[in-house]
A = this chain, B = another copy of it.
């Protein structure tokens, strides 16, 4: 049985990990009554949130994301931080449960009393994962985590969404350049606040340095404004634990510069209001897609729009008309 909202809120404020885990399960639930409880809990805790350094980390499979997060997170724990890791993977269908997977791939963090790892909820859409992650982040901040790492797989639509959740967005790339961006979505590079070349050790140390210089040059060329800052490019080795402290110091410095300049407050206010309107649209869209009239019409209209025999505008008007007729409970 789920404890009451008051008990969960008190548990989270007192630093009880089990309350935090249960509260995240509650926000992940799609049941209407759970959603109402989750909303009440978030309303209670929202004023306690906002204090963490929120770091997004992305990179394609094979780039060494897990070992990087393990090294980066443990470094932050050693410096006295309380670290949460939230995974965002809308395609997550790992067999055997992803909790085991996440605990295995980050063993040091998984066993640290100062770290909390939460895998991606399975079976949810990107919108659902994004909402849960935004809410879990609030819960972790209220709990007392002062660093929240949001990890994404780097292969899909999720990166833009994660960039809209965090203060600093870190892109991991492998040594060797372009080939290691295989699978990375167009536009990710330009979302990055910091680029980190991984595996800068042993035989690959020279290649990694070279790759970092290449990225520096490419980002300089692509910078949005003359004179504007470009994303720092660093190299590190998660295995040798070299360069990790520099990455952490860079992320912390960017965030504190932005806090001092007002950019952080502006960024977060913009993220929150954008999310509010985004959520409004998603709720309206959900209601529309649940409508029987829309479901009856949509397949044929979509096919005709795709083959060019019907204008998208007309199809949209018909769908919305069908929705209004049903919502108002009367033919139009």
Contacts and interface: CB of A to CB of B under 8 A. Distances in A.
Interface residues of A, number: 72
Given A190-B186, A281-B281, A327-B327, A49 B316 contact: no
A295 interface: no
A147 interface: no
Interface stretch (A4-12, A236-244, A306-314): A306-314
Contacts of A221: 177-178, 181, 214-215, 218
A183 interface: yes
A40 B50 CA distance: 51
A18 interface: no
A248 interface: no
Interface in A285-321: 285, 288, 301-302, 305-317, 319-320
Task: Say what secondary structure dominates the interface of chain A.
Answer: helix
Interface of A: 39, 42-43, 46-47, 49-50, 131, 134-135, 138, 177-179, 181-187, 189-191, 214-215, 217-218, 220-226, 268-270, 272-273, 275-277, 279-281, 283-285, 288, 301-302, 305-317, 319-320, 323-324, 327-329
A280 B224 contact: no
Contacts of A312: 134, 272-273, 275-276, 279
A178 B218 CA distance: 9
B276 A284 contact: no
Nearest to A284: B284
How many copies of this chain sit in the oligomeric assembly?
2
Contact of A311 (B138, B309, B315, B316): B138
Contacts of A49: 308
A182 B225 CA distance: 4
Contacts of A185: 224
Contact of A191 (B186, B225, B272): B186
Contact of A317 (B47, B178, B226, B283): B283
30 contacts: A39-B313, A43-B310, A43-B311, A46-B309, A46-B311, A47-B309, A134-B312, A178-B220, A178-B223, A183-B225, A189-B190, A189-B222, A215-B221, A217-B217, A218-B218, A218-B221, A268-B308, A272-B306, A275-B312, A276-B301, A276-B302, A276-B315, A276-B319, A277-B316, A280-B288, A283-B320, A284-B285, A284-B288, A327-B328, A328-B328
